[in-house]
Amino acid sequence: MLGLLSAAAHPLFHYGTHAVLPDDILQTMRMPPAYFVGIWAAIICGLAIFALTRSRKLKPDLMLDVGLIFEVVGAFCIGLIEASTLSMGGHVDGGPSGIALWITLFVLVVPNTLAKTALAALASASMGPIALVVAAYANKQPAPPPFLFLLISIPNLLIAAIAIILSRFVYTLGTDVSRAREMGSYKLVELLGRGGMGEVWRAEHRLLARPAAIKLIQPEMLGGSDSKATTIVKRRFEREAQATAMLSSPHTIDLYDFGVAEDGAFYYVMELLQGVDLQTLVEKYGPVPSDRAGHILRQVCSSLEEAHHSGLVHRDIKPANIYTCRYGLEYDFVKVLDFGIVKSAEDLTGLTKLTNTNVATGTPGFMAPEMALGNDVDGRADIYALGCVAYWLLTGKLVFEEQTFIATILAHAQKAPVPPSKRTELAIPPQIEKLVMWCLEKEPRHRPSSAGEIRRALSQFALADSWTTEKAEKWWKLHMPEKTVAGVEIDLKERGLQANVQQI
């Protein structure tokens, strides 16, 4: 937002001023080159920071540091424009300049540590006199008198100091209010992450010592665009959360509680896991051997089999929603996540459908053809997605790696998939490849009839059984050791929260 503000405000002030001034005055105003350099630099930097923020290519902490650099650069651009105006005979009133407003916006809006905030604010305040020297040199004018440096610097430094002090009160108050929020019997302790659907918090039960993760979802993210739609979504949320809570498969994430917060946000209270999702597993460690893939898929099938039998279709089976973890004394114990926004196979009324007619929902790389075409779906859509997940586990590649969303869903609807054995150097047993290709059939009636059928087929292959407890334990101790030193413990803690964060 600050990037867009910078990119829009500078040309607006320039051309807006020129639009209202008389022509005779405009003819006498010939701005020096440094003036336009400041305007264009501010526009380019603002658009660049906006694009970089939207791309989400940088980690949040690093993005905030880049933002502080942008604060200093933006202050220099403002100083350059103001200094160029002074060189044209502008009046110096000795009050706060545009740099002071810029510092205040950044200090109060962009969160960071006290040290970094103060350093960036003071550096930005010093850009006024620096820009004064640069403008004089660029415009080939004599050096400004010393008193002018003090006249420009002191107000900006005072405003920066005041803004820094105020920011501490604002953020402390916000943190206290956030931590005081309670969801049912749970107290929010720490914000773990934000995403397109909402927030995920670490939480504690007020009476029990059990840790949990709370996922907050705003109604508009689920289709509640107005009061009537929100009421419909709320009813469906309650109905499906109750159905999800009744799922008892050990491979379905446990749902402890659910409800609606005072601000209207829906929330789920879930178990907190230690492990890694399949998306990260393959990205970080590469494709998994067939026996481990069979071990994982068989557990996923157990979760889906119960859900389908209960009339629930997940509709977003993907690697990021499947989590392999250390669960008690077991290793590679699989949990299927995000059963909170499933679709009932039988809606109570047509109004309770969460998605609009003819709108495809789900993740493009794992979307069944019938979903891509906007047709009705049942549990066989999850089976197709499970085939895509198996393909990912075995090859480290998507079934169709197209460039755009539309191209991807059209490929799922029209193109024949390449057998996984042709896209990896790892050995894939023929029976596993045949099962994967069977799940990837375009017509639902040509796929396995149920997740139970896939699970039984995997059991017959005996591959899943060859991934022994000893193998799993050895892998986990090698790649994700349990709390051996402080640094590793912190790393493991971060991984353990990752799946809950990725749900949003």
What amino acid positions are annotated as catalytic residues?
Answer: 316
| Distance between CA atoms of residues 343 and 313, nearest Å | 5
Separation CA 476–CA 275 (nearest Å): 9
Q: What ranges in 212-364 are assigned the alpha helix state H?
A: 227-245, 278-285, 290-309
Q: Which two tokens stand for residue 43?
A: 């526009």
Measured between alpha carbons, how far is residue 53 from residues 11, 63, 438 in Å?
A: 22, 7, 41
Q: Could you tell me if 241 and 258 are in contact, meaning their C-beta atoms sit under 8 angstroms apart?
A: yes
Paired strand residues for 186: 183, 205
* Cβ proximity of 269 and 183 under 8 Å: yes
Crossing angle of helices 127-138/60-87, nearest 10°? Answer: 50
The 3-state DSSP class for residue 202 equals strand
And the tokens for 232? Answer: 């419909």
The length of the chain in residues reads: 504
CB 230 within 8 A of CB 219: yes
CA pair distance 375, 434, nearest whole angstrom: 26
